[in-house]
Amino acid sequence: MAQRSRDAKTIGDLIKLHREDLQEVGRRIGRSKSASLTLLEQRLGRFRISELDRERLIQFGKARAHEGAGPVILGIDLGYIKTILSHAAAVHGVVLSTEPIALARIALTRLGLVGKGNERDRRPTQDELDRLVAAFDANRAQQIPVGRIIGFAVATAMRQDEICRIEWPDFYPAERMLLIKDRKDPRRKHGNNQRIPLLDVTGYDACALIEEQRSCADNQTGRIFPYNGRSIGTAFRRQCRKLKIEDLHFHDLRHEGASRLFEAGYSIEQVSLVTGHKDWKMLRRYTHLKPEALHDTRPRN
């Protein structure tokens, strides 16, 4: 370990040290963090440790923002840079300072390039959903049943990658339950399995959609929706453009599902059993209730 730290001359070397140390103790690096580390290697890896000053970090931040990285993403980038440097100092005794990162963060925050992201409140109308589903169902060249997946996303409030990972053994039709393995959780990277009820209160019946998928499946041993998530997202965006549906993301369907559960009269605790959120603060970000929906909702005592 001492030899490896002495050989570390560049930021790329420190990133490599960080990866190797985590691998050595059996800690798996998640997909998002791995992608961020790869990006940092590409952009900053060639610079010597002493060259990572405030000005260079500000330039990096401006370049990332110009490429489209939002305030939250850029903040995460800076957080990973600090993690890499702090790890090198604590574990390997590499002499360096994290002060340039703190100063760069202040500067980029004042420039409006780092900060909290704006909460999205975009909810699709039922007409938009109907048009999307109809367009996908009518397209015989579309091999992925995106229309069915749209309904399932609203019915379950599941993330796109979760939908593409669930398997037939995870489905319990008699109980109307579904097991989601390794569900996203900032406090637990692995083993966060959750059983969720498959409800029929959002305008879409999750169980019926799975049975519909079963009738088209070649086998019932692998994934229920054996498709590439990126391909689904690409098809979704393309169809939105064709139908002139503006500013709608696939992830908004998860928001919509959570909102419809609240509008159906479920409590915060009950909705979290479906969405997987641990507290109200996180769940509130995905919930944008329509005031007119109160006419159809009975208040809880």
> For the chain, which domains are there?
2-110 (1.10.150), 126-296 (1.10.443.10)
pLDDT at 8: 77
- CA 75 to chain CA centroid, Å, is 16
pLDDT of residue 109: 95
- Return the SS3 of 182: coil
190/67 Cα distance (integer angstroms): 32
Q: What is the pLDDT of residues 35-72, one digit of tens each?
A: 899 999 999 999 999 999 999 999 999 999 998 888 98
* Beta strand extents in the chain (DSSP E only): 171-172, 177-180, 194-197
Q: Which residue has the tokens 């590409």?
A: 42
Order the strands of the 171-172 sheet from edge to edge.
171-172, 177-180, 194-197
Phi, psi of 56 (to 5 degrees): -65, -40
**Residue range 233-262, pLDDT digits in tens:** 999 999 999 999 999 999 999 999 999 998
Task: Report the C-alpha gap between 71 and 64 in whole angstroms.
Answer: 10
Region of 75 on the Ramachandran plot (φ > 0 left; ψ -120 to 50 alpha; else beta): alpha
- Residue 221 pLDDT class (50, 70, 90 cuts): confident
